Structure 1
């Protein structure tokens, strides 16, 4: 009871809310940028996995195994700290003294996009394979090339089928933006950590942060469920 008497949620909420608001904008920016990149990559990877080229398929399988076999946090740290050093070393052969730097937020967007793009590619690939081959054959009979049939007929339908799953991954990405704090992106978690260390309102600060993430994710979860129901009625 003594602990409860010393809690000051009102003060923490009043002082932390502006910081969380700014952190939320950064988290949403990272989510939107990362997810857009993930969707684009997922389609390209899925199409590549279905190509006739063994080399392309082999390269993509190796990339997928590396990404899926390492933690997202390690990938983000590698993207922010190691990748710029490697790029600098390569470019220095042509431009001595060159130093490449990567903006923390951009590194986070790239890391999230690549990671989620690899996972979403399996969703897109499965959706493509689920489309009736008769539609492709009909398109070819009408004069479409294989590429035109794929991008004009198959991909749009496959993407529509994958939308509910994409929604679930979007919610996961919003929560995973908290990992960007480890590469100095000043999002929700990093701002909360800074406030808690200054005020010692640790319980209040992290409780408010958890509630903020719930407020973000729960409405989106409901939207995804509605999409699933609506799309299932049109199958």
Structure 2
């Protein structure tokens, strides 16, 4: 009985997919381990969190507590926000990267380079400048909605032990969401592609209403990603 070996191109293609997936997953694992190992100086983290609150008040941004109070008045909305926070961020990012790799290869390489660059810079900031999130800053009196609803990633046996809760600034939830929107709008031609704008907007509302991030965290994450996209676009292949 003879066997027919798969074409070399197919074997190579499978190896390429595994290599690319390993790079992204490895970077994500390194990012979380780095956050876990970061020194959690609670005094400094609280002070930095309060500095952000003071800056937002000076800028006359809406108080995060008022946004959360409105969301808490709609039980279904805060439940949806909790689940969006824990279930959409990483799985959707991986799904989009896989789709881009399969159907929009140049856009995939652009997205991957920008994502790795932005995430690396964010990790350095998280390690050097700990920031207490709104849900843990007692002066704000906000509710930890994820913990209250039983859907917090910090309660999970594995992810919880790998997470640094004092890494609010910048927000990569918002940053990654914006990255996906920009790359997909750029790579696709359908008129429906503009609906991807809703993803970073929804993510910003989610992270604020669940008290995981401040407005300025989202702005910082967005600025970081825009810079990474701009710097890596020139080498897009």
Task: Answer whether TM exceeds 0.5 for this pair.
Answer: no
Tell me the TM-score normalized by structure 1: 0.29
Q: What TM-score do the two structures reach when normalised by structure 2?
A: 0.29
Comparing both structures, which one devotes a greater share of its residues to helix? 1
